[in-house]
Amino acid sequence: MLGHLCQAAACRALAVDYRLAPEAPFPAALEDCLTAYRWLLKTGTPADQIVIAGDSAGGNLTLTTMMALRDAGDPMPAGSVCISPMTDLACTGESFNTRKDALLTPKQARDFARYYAGEQDPRLPLISPCYGDLSGLPPLLIHAGGDETLLSDAQRLADRARAAGVDVRLDIWPHLWHVWHVYTPFMPEARQAVEAIGAFVRTRVKSATFEG
């Protein structure tokens, strides 16, 4: 999927091999993402040439990384992309009870959330970004499937980000499931979604460069 996204966006990618729960619960993965972003800046990549993107748990880390960068006074990226993000690790979304996801079940989502949060309160903003302050974040593209367990997480994220003044675009793809983008070689809907992300990335980087 990452290769297809790079082709669509005409860019290179740095894939962060962050530490995983349950062996390394919060905040290990977030710390690794912050280290990777700051390494890019240190080695000469301007912030306005970076778009942070992630799917599922990576969508969560996309948001919390930017929140932590903002709070620390680091330069912000040109934009961000969240594919089927998990934003509420308390798992209170309505879609947990009403959707039939072909890939991610409510039990799996709850188990993953418990592994990651460990002994911490799952509603902490840097664990569940939908409970945090989203102001000051760069433009955000969110993709979610209409049938996915985490649909409510995406919808609530979009609502709260807009209320905080963030430029948000939420695209809900009817009848699709969690991170259908991985089927790009086989599904027209996956190819179309990847192309839409590529166009967003190209626009954000071009706009940031022009504005700068």
| Residues carrying an active site annotation | 56, 148, 178
Which residues neighbour 86 within 8 Å (Cβ) at sequence distance 6 or greater? 56, 57, 59, 60, 109, 112, 113, 150, 153
Torsions phi, psi for 55 (to 5 deg):
-115, 145
27 token code pair: 């905040």
Residue 40 to residue 58: CA distance in whole angstroms = 18
How far apart CA 26 and CA 133 sit, in angstroms, is 19
Identify the bridge partners of residue 158 per DSSP, sorted by sequence position: none
